[in-house]
Amino acid sequence: MKNPRPLTALAVVALVLAAAFTTVLVANAATSPADAKGPVVLPPELASMPIEQAMLTSPPHVPPAIKRQYAARMVVNLEVREVVAKLADGVEYTFWTFGGSVPGSFIRIREGDVVEFHLNNHPSSKLPHNIDLHAVTGPGGGAASTFTAPGHSSQFTFQALNPGLYVYHCATAPVPMHIGNGMYGLILVEPKEGLPIVDKEYYVMQGEFYTTGKYGEEGLQSFDMAKAIDERPPYIVFNGAVGSLVGDKAITAKVGEQVRIFFGVGGPNITSSFHIIGEIFDKVYPEAGLSLPNRNVQTTLVPSGGATMVEFKVDVPGTFILVDHSLTRAFNKGALGMLKVTGPEDRVIYSGKEIDAIYLGAQAEAGSNSAKREAELKTQIAAAMSSNPTIAGLTKEMQIEKGKQVYMGLCFACHQPDGKGLPMAFPPLAGSDYLLADRGRAVRTVLKGLTGPVTVNGVTLNSVMPPQEAVLTDAQIADVLTYVYNSWGNHGEAFTSAKVKAIRAEIH
Amino acid sequence: MTPKPFLQLSAIALGLWLGTVRGAAANGTEQGSVLIPAGFYEPLIRSPKDLAKKPVAAFWLDEQPITNGQFLAFVRAHPRWQRSHISRLFADSSYLEHWTSDLNPGTQAPLNVPVVRISWFAARAYARWVGRRLPTTAEWELAAAAGYTRPDGKNDEVLQHDLYAWLARPVPPIQSTVTTARRNLHGARGLHGFVWEWVDDFNTALVTGESRADSGLERDRFCGAGSLGAKDSSDYAAFMRQALRASLQANNTTTSLGFRCAQDFSPLDPYSPR
């Protein structure tokens, strides 16, 4: 191959995903058009079931609850159509749809039903499509039997063995592209005993759109396979478009009603942290397993290619925001919808803002005045201390003591504890004319060290004094020099650490 | 006769014969051809037994897809391929549905745009009528692998952009003319971005489990078998072409499926067909 490296990486990554999907295609070739097996011959007890046309609805609405207490033969006619529609303001996209909408039509059947499923691919479609319903037990979930060219129709029959809320989607290669163009929806298989009655039921699905343009870039956008493989969608939306459930398109309820939401994630890639701001899910059926709900859940995790059913009672009016709680998806990519609840307030449950008052910070005014006074007093004390000779003397004594500790821990090694140095090796400090003549030079010497010939009290020595700038702090240097200048007969003023600091900065 | 004059005479005879065939089909069906050089086609999906690179001999390919005007000349000459006469064995009920009548393409089918809604049988019949044939999958994909300015179309950004932009648009109610479309490196126009095209062996595009000789398992049917053999999963337009071919039966028609013809390249007559 011409460009092995990038293609190899890409192939390795995409291979696994292509694996499951191309197998469908492979199997399709063996079982599609030429291999139609003819209508299934039902055994007498199934053949005698009543036949019903399934009612399909567009999101966010769902067909009415199933009231019959027996299984039936349901005929589903689902059309595949490629339509250009709005993805966001000013942004258009060629959606591939089941039933003309994203997500596709909601299908509602009952446990035990035998479904005669017709997948009709509109002649205006550019591509063949098929369908994998997660409610189907059988190869490809139906995909192996519904591979349909444009302008053609496929039929297959399945029995709904398991109750539950299931995702369906197209499974034609490249599958992530077909799903990424909007080919997903939900099919509800009601349990035999039915679902509890609620006042409102709604249908919401989350999905990503991988457009070549950035979020909000206007015009007809194309699908971007590289972004899809990297899972970097510019759009993550509910029901196929930014703002599909916002404003006058919000879903609604009245105070006191029980609301049920069938929430699915078409993907193709991203899971959802489904949450409704201001509401708590009284019941959550995790992963849409309908037997045992969780109760009192704030945010529920919905896998890609999965669903959940949530139920809650609305108690107070207001606008409650549906989000994917991975929040940049909600606020920057479109995963945001609205539930508008109308009706009487209940201020005990939620009062709204009661009081708006001024707040001044950590202290009352009297306290902050006191802090100012304290700072003033501190300055006065410092001034008084430095100007008072007794106190000034005491502080100098303190420095001398501290400086002695520094000297006896470091400098004594060469200059000796008595300050007399070592003849022919290290100069004395006691009565040293060199030392006492220049205070600034004394500080610089301690900081930077000294090499070369130096004449002290008439004697020339040539040795090395190592620098102490990295070893001693400014305060320690001030203290040790104060000690040296006031010991062994030396007399001098104290050194300040501020002065040392200034000199250190100069000669740095 | 000595070999050399015999060959020369044969060449002349061949040329005359070809010329005659071309003459008969010349009324309204003039079509430029481009020579696609010999090369290798790397099948998108293959079983382990197939060659990774299939050699393809040089061949002539129509520069553009067959137009409504050209197909009109054909159905005029052969009434049994007209819309109201054709048997359902050879074309489904949508055959030439967009034409106003049997011999009048009408406003939905301008004469200079690719003909669509024709079946594989009809395309083959046309090709035979003009003395040619349909290209094979290998030949078509080899020709289409080239970019506008470089032999590897997958790295030609302009071509990739054009191709994926077309895939993102819905099928237009009236096709566009290919006459002014940009040529690819071999000189062919509109292999990408206009219509899907029939190939002679469209229904052998995928392994079907026939090759069970390797073991008792239907290896090529197992999960992954198809893709483990997939040459390059990033070339997803190729997957889509493959998907379309696999979904079709020979009498099917669609609103976005047309065709163009091919012809063997003969060293004895290197300038045909024109």
Mind listing the pLDDT tens digit for each residue in B76-129? 999 999 999 999 999 999 999 999 999 999 999 999 999 999 999 999 999 999
pLDDT of residue B262: 96
A46-91 confidence digits (pLDDT tens):
889 999 999 999 999 999 999 999 999 999 999 999 999 999 999 9
Q: Select from A312, A342, A372 the last residue of a domain.
A: A342
Chain A environment of B210 (Cβ under 8 Å): none
A164-204 confidence digits (pLDDT tens):
999 999 999 889 999 999 999 999 999 999 999 999 999 99
Q: Indicate yes or no: CB of A220 within 8 angstroms of CB of B223.
A: no
Identify the top-confidence range among A394-398, B50-54, B125-129, B233-237.
B125-129
Residue A137 has pLDDT above 70, yes or no: yes
Residue B244 has its nearest CB partner, among A34, A124, A128, at A128
A92 and A211 part of one domain: yes
> Which amino acid is located at B68 in the chain?
N
Question: What does R_g of chain A's alpha carbons equal in angstroms?
Answer: 41
Query: Which residue did the predictor score with more confidence, A385 or A1?
Result: A385
Mean pLDDT across A460-478: 91
Residue A237 has pLDDT above 90, yes or no: yes
* Mean confidence (pLDDT) of chain B: 81
CA distance B272 to chain A (A): 32
A301 and A161 part of one domain: yes
Q: How many domains does chain A have?
A: 2
| Cα A31–Cα A35–Cα A39 angle in degrees, nearest 5 | 105
Contact between A142 and A156 (Cβ < 8 Å): yes
The helix (run of H) or strand (run of E) holding residue A83 is strand A73-88
One DSSP character per residue, B126-139 reads: HHHHTT-BPPPHHH
Cα–Cα distance between A186 and A198 in angstroms, integer?
19
pLDDT of residue B50: 72
Residue A199 has which token pair?
A: 């006042």
Which CATH number fits the domain B27-264, given the four candidates 3.90.1580, 1.20.1440, 3.40.50, 3.30.1420? 3.90.1580
Chain A environment of B205 (Cβ under 8 Å): 29
- Tell me which residues of chain A, numbers 206 to 235, contact chain B at a CB-CB cutoff of 8 Å: 212, 220-223, 225, 229
A295 and A398 part of one domain: no
Q: What is the CATH number of the domain that holds A408?
A: 1.10.760.10
pLDDT of residue B51: 75
Q: Indicate yes or no: CB of A29 within 8 angstroms of CB of B164.
A: no
CA distance A301 to chain B (A): 29
A326 and A406 part of one domain: no
Q: Indicate yes or no: CB of A149 within 8 angstroms of CB of B152.
A: no
Contact between A267 and A184 (Cβ < 8 Å): yes
Does residue A391 sit at the B interface (CB-CB below 8 Å)?
no
Which residue carries 């307030």 as its tokens? A345
* β-bridge pairing A200-209 and A235-238: antiparallel
Chain A environment of B242 (Cβ under 8 Å): 25, 173
Query: Long-range pairs for B91-97 at CB < 8 Å and ≥24 separation?
Result: B91/B118, B91/B119, B91/B121, B91/B122, B91/B251, B91/B253, B92/A151, B92/B119, B92/B251, B92/B252, B92/B253, B94/A123, B94/A151, B94/B253, B94/B254, B95/B119, B95/B122, B95/B253, B96/B253, B97/B253
A237 and A111 part of one domain: yes
* Mean confidence (pLDDT) of chain A: 90
Q: Indicate yes or no: CB of A11 within 8 angstroms of CB of B232.
A: yes
Q: Indicate yes or no: CB of B232 within 8 angstroms of CB of A7.
A: yes
Q: Select from A342, A374, A405 the last residue of a domain.
A: A342
pLDDT of residue A472: 92
Q: C-alpha distances in angstroms, B68 versus A465, B81, B105, B109, B198?
A: 102, 14, 7, 6, 16
In this predicted complex, what is the ipTM?
0.73
pLDDT of residue B44: 75
Q: Indicate yes or no: CB of A11 within 8 angstroms of CB of B254.
A: no
Q: C-alpha distances in angstroms, B235 versus A15, A171, A225?
A: 12, 18, 10
Residue B259 has pLDDT above 60, yes or no: yes
Q: Is residue A406 part of a domain?
A: yes
Helix and strand counts by DSSP (H, E) for chain A: 12, 23
Chain B environment of A222 (Cβ under 8 Å): 164-165, 167-168
> Which amino acid is located at A83 in the chain?
V
Residue A10 has pLDDT above 80, yes or no: no
Residue A430 has which token pair?
A: 């006691």
How many other C-beta atoms can be found within 10 angstroms of the C-beta atom of residue A498?
A: 11
Q: Indicate yes or no: CB of A150 within 8 angstroms of CB of B165.
A: no
Percent of chain A, pLDDT > 90?
Answer: 76
Q: Where are the alpha helices (DSSP H) in A407-496?
A: 412-415, 433-437, 439-448, 474-484
A420 and A480 part of one domain: yes
Cα–Cα distance between B250 and B118 in angstroms, integer?
10
Q: Indicate yes or no: CB of A26 within 8 angstroms of CB of B206.
A: yes
A155 and A220 part of one domain: yes
Q: What is the pTM of this model?
A: 0.69
Biggest alpha carbon–alpha carbon distance for chain B: 63
Which residue carries 């001030």 as its tokens? A478
Cβ-based contacts under 8 A for chains A and B: 155
Residue B115 has which token pair?
A: 């003909």
Residue A98 has which token pair?
A: 């089941």
CA distance B187 to chain A (A): 22
Identify the top-confidence range among A29-38, A388-397, B50-59, B185-194.
B185-194
B176-219 confidence digits (pLDDT tens):
999 999 999 999 999 999 999 999 999 875 533 333 333 333 44
Mean pLDDT across B17-36: 58
Nearest chain A residue to B40, by CA: A1
Q: Is residue A76 part of a domain?
A: yes
Q: Indicate yes or no: CB of B220 within 8 angstroms of CB of A26.
A: yes
A327-384 confidence digits (pLDDT tens):
999 999 999 999 999 999 999 999 988 888 877 666 656 666 777 888 889 889 888 8
Q: Indicate yes or no: CB of B247 within 8 angstroms of CB of A149.
A: yes
Cα–Cα distance between A94 and A96 in angstroms, integer?
7
A336 and A485 part of one domain: no
Which structural domain, as residue segments, surrounds residue A485? 387-506
pLDDT of residue B22: 36
pLDDT of residue A222: 94
Q: Taking the domains of chain B in order of start, what are their residue ranges?
A: 27-264
DSSP single-letter state for residue A99: T
A410 and A485 part of one domain: yes
Residue A149 has its nearest CB partner, among B152, B168, B254, at B254
Residue A22 has its nearest CB partner, among B45, B209, B252, at B45
